[in-house]
Amino acid sequence: MNYCSQCGETVTVKVPAGDYVLRHVCDACGIIHYQNPKIVVGCIPEWEDRILLCKRAIEPRYGLWTLPAGFMENGETVQQGAARETLEEANARVQVGALYALFNLPHINQVYMLFRSRLLDLDFGPGAESLETELLDQSQIPWDKIAFPVIHESLSLYFQDRANGDFPLRTGDIQRLAGPGRRYEVCMRDTAEPTS
Amino acid sequence: MNYCSQCGETVTVKVPAGDYVLRHVCDACGIIHYQNPKIVVGCIPEWEDRILLCKRAIEPRYGLWTLPAGFMENGETVQQGAARETLEEANARVQVGALYALFNLPHINQVYMLFRSRLLDLDFGPGAESLETELLDQSQIPWDKIAFPVIHESLSLYFQDRANGDFPLRTGDIQRLAGPGRRYEVCMRDTAEPTS
C-alpha cells in the first residue's frame, strides 16, 4: 500500500496514537487503513463413501488436487461462501453441514473453514478454475498430489474421524517453516473442554 | 474507496473479466482491490459459575455490556486474537478453549467467533476501551443492556447449554431488518450431521 484509497495522497507506515501495531496511515487525511486476515471457506462434499475433489486449473499449485474452497465474499455467510465455491469450482450443489476444520495460517493471514457437506446430485464437472472433478474413495485420494498442507491435513483427519464414526471440530495452526523448500509445521489443538 | 492504494490513480467500480462481482478496479494499473469480511474474535471468560463482561467505554454502544472481542489482526491465530482482546479490554489472562459460537453478520461483513475460555486469575480490570469489568453469574447478566445482538444471543445460548451440561458449537446468522429502529433477525442452524 503506497497511497490512501480515500484521498489519493501518500501513506506512511507507523503506529497510530493509542495503538501498538504498525498501520498504513494517510499523510493528508489521517485515515488508518487496517489490514485483517481473510477467511477461506470450502466444503468436503460427500456422496456415500466418496468425496469430491478438484484438480486445479490455476496457480498456485496448478494441476494438484484440492477441496472446493476460496475467499469468502462480502455480503454472504460462511456457509453460503462454501456452497458458492463448490458451485464455481465443481459445478456441484451441496447442502452445507457442520463446520469440520478450522485452521489458522498466520504466515499468510488466512483462516480456513471447511464444512462437511452433502452432495445433492451427481451432475457436477469442472468449473473455470478446475481441470477435473472426481468423486474419490479413501483409497483413491492422491495424497502426494494435494495442493495445500491445510487440505492434506483436513482430509487426513477426516478419514481418521470417519473410521471412528465421529467428526469433532478439528482446529489447528499451520505455519510455514523458515528456510528453503516448502516445509510446514502442523499443530493441532486439544479439543477438550477449557475447564477440564 | 476512491483511489488505487498501489499507484494513486482513480478507481472505477466494475465487474472484472471472468468475475461476476462489482470490484474497485484501478483505471491506470488495472489492479483489482478485493474487499472481504472481517473476523471478530472474542472470549467467554469463565470463573466457576461466573463469566467476565466489559462495559464499553467507546462507541458504538457506549456504556453497554459485552464480551471481550474485537477484530482479528494479521499474523495471529483466532485463539491468539481472542486472548489478546480479552487482555486489552479486561486486562485478563485466559486459556482459550473450544469454539462455542460462530455467527455470520452479512449486513456488516463480519464473522464472529467466540471461544469458551478459562480465566486464569482474578487480577483483571478495565482496559482503555472499557468503563468496568465484572464477573457475573447468570442472574446478574444485564440482559437489557447488552451492546450487540450477537453477544445477547451467544450469552443466552451459553446459559441454556450450561444448564444441559453440553456446549455444542452454536452457528447462526444475524441480519439487521430493514426499516426504522434496531431490529434484528436471528436464524440458528441445525447442528445435526449433514447426512442425517
Nearest to B40 by CA among A39, A187, A75: A39
Q: Which residues of B touch A85 (CB under 8 A)?
A: none
In contact, B67 and B146? CB cutoff 8 Å: no
CA dihedral A16→A19→A23→A25, nearest 10 degrees, is -20
DSSP letters spanning A73-142: PTTS-HHHHHHHHHHHHH---EEEEEEEEEEEEGGGTEEEEEEEEEE--S-----TTEEEEEEE-GGG--
CA distance B145 to chain A (A): 27
pLDDT along chain B (196 residues), means of 10: 96 93 95 97 98 97 98 98 98 98 98 98 97 98 98 98 96 94 91 46
Give the number of other CB atoms < 10 A from CB of residue B136: 15
Closest by Cα among B158, B98, B168, B81 to A171:
B98
pLDDT in tens, B115-140: 999 999 999 999 999 999 999 999 99
Cell numbers at residue B140, please? 446478574
Return the DSSP state at B163: H
Provide the pairing of β-strand B94-105 with B170-176. parallel
Length of chain A: 196
Count how many Cα atoms sit within 13 Å of the Cα of residue B196 in the half-sphere of its side chain: 6
- Cβ–Cβ contact A88 with B under 8 A: no
Per DSSP, the three-state class of A168 is: coil
What is the distance between the alpha carbons of residues B58 and B95, in angstroms, rounded to a whole number?
26
**Helix (H/G/I), strand (E/B), else coil: B30:** coil
Which B positions 138-157 lie with beta carbon below 8 A of chain A? none
Task: Give the mutation candidate from B74, B76, B115, B191 for the A interface (greatest A CB count, under 10 A).
Answer: B74
- Contact call for residues A183 and A101 (beta carbons, < 8 A): no
Which pLDDT belongs to residue B190?
73
Q: Do A96 and B1 touch (CB under 8 A)?
A: no
Residues of chain B contacting residue A195, judged by C-beta atoms under 8 Å apart: 46, 97, 118
Give Cβ neighbours of residue A110 (< 8 Å, ≥ 6 apart). Answer: A37, A38, A39, A40
Characterize B58-87 residue by residue with b for buried, 16 or more Cβ atoms within 10 angstroms of its Cβ, and e for exposed. Answer: eeeeeebbbbbbbebbeebbbbbbbbbbbb
Find chain A residues with C-beta within 8 A of B5's C-beta: 1-5, 11, 24, 33
CB spacing of B73 vs A36 below 8 angstroms: yes
Chain A touched by B174 (CB under 8 Å): no
Predicted confidence (pLDDT) per residue in A93-126, tens digit: 999 999 999 999 999 999 999 999 999 999 999 9
* Residues of chain B found within 8 Å of residue A194, distances taken between Cβ atoms: 46, 95-98, 115-118
H helices present in A50-91, as ranges: 78-90
The x, y and z cell numbers of residue B64, run together, are: 453497554
Mean pLDDT by 10 residues, chain A (196 residues): 96 93 95 97 98 97 98 98 98 98 98 98 97 98 98 98 96 94 91 46
Helix H or strand E encompassing A44: strand A38-47
